Structure 1
Amino acid sequence: MGNLKNILIAFLVPLPSLTFYLTFLHNHQNPSPSYAYFNSLLTWCSDHPLLLANILFFLNIDLLFWLIGLIQSSNWLIDLYWTVVPVMLVHYYASHPLAKSDAVRSKVVIFLTWVWAIRLTHNYFRRERWQWGSREDWRFTDMTKQYGKHWWWVSFFAVYLSQQVFLIGICLPLYAVHSSEKPWNTWDTIAMSVCISGIVIAYFGDTQLFKFVQRNNTLRELGVPLVPNLDKGLWRYSRHPNYFGEQLWWWGLVILGWNVGEGWTFIGALINSMCLAYVTVLVERRMVKQESRADAYRLYQKTTSVWIPWFKSTPRGAKDKSN
């Protein structure tokens, strides 16, 4: 019953923004002389695509998702919509009255954004055993304990307002793509190659991690020792290949923004990379706190690249012994 309720919430929750935007698109070219204030609103929405996107995000996600999180005592919705918002934004930027773009570039970017979102959404539900809202991100759970009775208001800033900065920021190249009619060129091909590489690397990284977790769950059920660490496949060359793939995707989009003369759009990807670097530290601290895998993971840290896949290195202690 809880799963069905959360499915219903997930499908209904974006309706306020969608309804308003579709109404705006329907009426902006045919304003009614009887509604001067409404016509002024339509004109403002036509002239300020970025501001409108931020306002809709603030009202529909920051405020509404926050209220739902307080009622449910869980902030699961933002995890699901992390993969949905970029798709909504790319269609928003492409359909806005001020939009102008090279048709090929626009179609390719929209298609790849869908591919990226489907991959990440599939990984989310696979990890959650196809349950909707069964749990929230472990970092939010940890912060709930950290902030205690203040979490109800801290969560608005830590979970939702911060996500607006990240999501609107990393999607800025999608806005840039639909702000220029510059013809497709070699840099577009390079950017798309980077984006596709990122999607593929992230997919295989996440799939290998999922299978590793599944194998350990089976071993746990059998009552036999678990494999302490994943160091096969892409994980042999990088401690976080899935993170690396995600970064390639977003920085590939940055190349697109730069190519159409909107180099400033790199700021979102930079903020996201800095945030992911901090998340990487949190994840690795969590790993070494687990006694069953602490020694193996410390050795893994000494021999394996953090993000960028690279060849294994030899621990300093092992070199000394060999000499």
Structure 2
Amino acid sequence: MLLNLLVLNIFIMFCSWLLVTYNRRAGLVDVAWSFSIALNVMIAAWVMGTAPLMVRMFLGIASGIWFLRLTWHLLRRYVNETHEDTRYANMRRAMGGYQHLGFLAFFMFQAGLVALFSYPMLKLLSIPTQQWNDWTPYTVLVAAIIMALSLIGESTADQQLYRFKLNPQNKGKTLNRGLWKYSRHPNYFFEWLHWFAYPILGLAAGLYSLWIYPLLMWLFLYYITGIPFSEQQALAHRGDNYKDYQRRTPMFIPWPPKE
């Protein structure tokens, strides 16, 4: 089953790469990444799961909704963009005449990342029912609360930023209202918070290795793919306006801003 899911991920990424080859907008890879994880989890919960029904339903529904919502948000952003995302435009320039093969390798690498970040859910779904203890309903409840708070928080932050960017009068300005008043990256914070749901759920099955995932996601967001690029782009486009925002507003964990 895992091999079948990997083949599915590769197929989705390959089709996405074919489309990007013609429209030259590689941001589609983000949409394909999130959609692939949603499919992996929902298919596994329905077909290959040996975990208790409560766990299978929670992961299939809650994680499915989480990644489908993210897919919709990324797709909406992708459709509304008039130019290729700066990250991928820079990659395209760097690869020069080898950009088509370079992006093919990049999209296949993303298929591997789908497998990496689907692993917590797939691992939980594969644990036989008899290995889950009496604490399972309580860990499901705690995981559900974390998932709900994360979903509400990230959806709210994404929607606030989306509406702010729709107003042409806000060009060159920084959103400093709503959740963005308390964190420069509230969407990333709630994305990170969501990954605590899986190791907490795993406590009822004696699975402790999943605690690496909140750390792994924090490293990705804080040092690699998320915050560094966002901060760099914000400074390049908004200059002193964003520097003032940086001085007053916490970078990651929401907290009251400085006066």
> Does the TM-score normalized on the shorter chain lie above 0.5?
yes
Question: Residue 234 of structure 1 contacts residue 241 of structure 1 at CA under 8 Å; is this kept in 2?
Answer: yes
Matched, 1:105 2:55: yes
Q: Tell me what 1:168 maps to.
A: 115
Aligned length: 252
RMSD, aligned CA: 2.6
Matching of residues 25-174 of structure 1 within 5 Å: 49-58=1-10, 60-97=11-48, 99-128=49-78, 136-158=84-106, 160-174=107-121
Q: Structure 1 residues 81, 103: closer, same or farther in 2, change over 3 A? A: same
The amino acid that maps onto 2:70 is L
Question: Residue 173 of structure 2 contacts residue 241 of structure 2 at CA under 8 Å; is this kept in 1?
Answer: yes
TM-score, scaled to structure 2: 0.84
Q: Percent identical across equivalent pairs?
A: 25
The amino acid that maps onto 2:89 is T
Q: Structure 1 residues 135, 228: closer, same or farther in 2, change over 3 A? A: closer
Q: Distance in 1 between matches of 2:241 and 2:138?
A: 45
Following superposition, the deviation at residue 205 of structure 1 comes to 0.4
Following superposition, the deviation at residue 128 of structure 1 comes to 4.4
Matching of residues 227-266 of structure 1 within 5 Å: 228-266=173-211
Q: Distance in 1 between matches of 2:5 and 2:68?
A: 22
Could you tell me which of 182, 198, 201 is aligned with 2:153?
201
Q: Distance in 2 between matches of 1:70 and 1:261?
A: 46
Matching of residues 162-311 of structure 1 within 5 Å: 162-180=109-127, 181=129, 182=132, 184-215=136-167, 217=168, 219=169, 226=171, 228-277=173-222, 278=224, 279-290=226-237, 293-311=238-256
Following superposition, the deviation at residue 72 of structure 1 comes to 4.0
Following superposition, the deviation at residue 227 of structure 1 comes to 6.3
Q: Distance in 2 between matches of 1:135 and 1:266?
A: 38
Following superposition, the deviation at residue 264 of structure 1 comes to 2.5
Q: Structure 1 residues 142, 82: closer, same or farther in 2, change over 3 A? A: same
SS in 1 for 2:196: helix
Question: Residue 12 of structure 2 contacts residue 32 of structure 2 at CA under 8 Å; is this kept in 1?
Answer: no
Question: Residue 79 of structure 1 contacts residue 137 of structure 1 at CA under 8 Å; is this kept in 2?
Answer: no
Structure number with greater Rg is 1
Question: Residue 157 of structure 2 contacts residue 187 of structure 2 at CA under 8 Å; is this kept in 1?
Answer: yes
Q: Distance in 2 between matches of 1:148 and 1:254?
A: 42
Question: Residue 154 of structure 2 contacts residue 190 of structure 2 at CA under 8 Å; is this kept in 1?
Answer: yes
Question: Residue 205 of structure 1 contacts residue 242 of structure 1 at CA under 8 Å; is this kept in 2?
Answer: yes
Q: Distance in 1 between matches of 2:199 and 2:86?
A: 30
Q: Which runs of 5+ in 2 are unaligned?
A: none
Following superposition, the deviation at residue 155 of structure 1 comes to 1.5
Question: Residue 139 of structure 2 contacts residue 203 of structure 2 at CA under 8 Å; is this kept in 1?
Answer: no
Question: Residue 169 of structure 1 contacts residue 265 of structure 1 at CA under 8 Å; is this kept in 2?
Answer: no
Displaced runs of 4 or more, over 6 A:
none
Q: Distance in 2 between matches of 1:283 and 1:161?
A: 24
SS in 2 for 1:238: coil
Following superposition, the deviation at residue 178 of structure 1 comes to 1.2
Question: Residue 28 of structure 2 contacts residue 78 of structure 2 at CA under 8 Å; is this kept in 1?
Answer: no
Which structure has greater helix proportion? 2
Q: Distance in 1 between matches of 2:75 and 2:6?
A: 27
The amino acid that maps onto 1:85 is S
**Could you report, residue by residue, the CA deviation over 1:152-185 in whole angstroms, capped at 9, with x for unpaired residues?**
2221233x13322332222212112212222523
Q: Which segment is superposed worse, 280-289 or 246-255?
A: 246-255
The amino acid that maps onto 2:31 is L
Q: Which runs of 5+ in 1 are unaligned?
A: 1-48, 221-225, 315-323
Structure with the bigger RCO (C-alpha within 8 Å, sep 6+) is 2
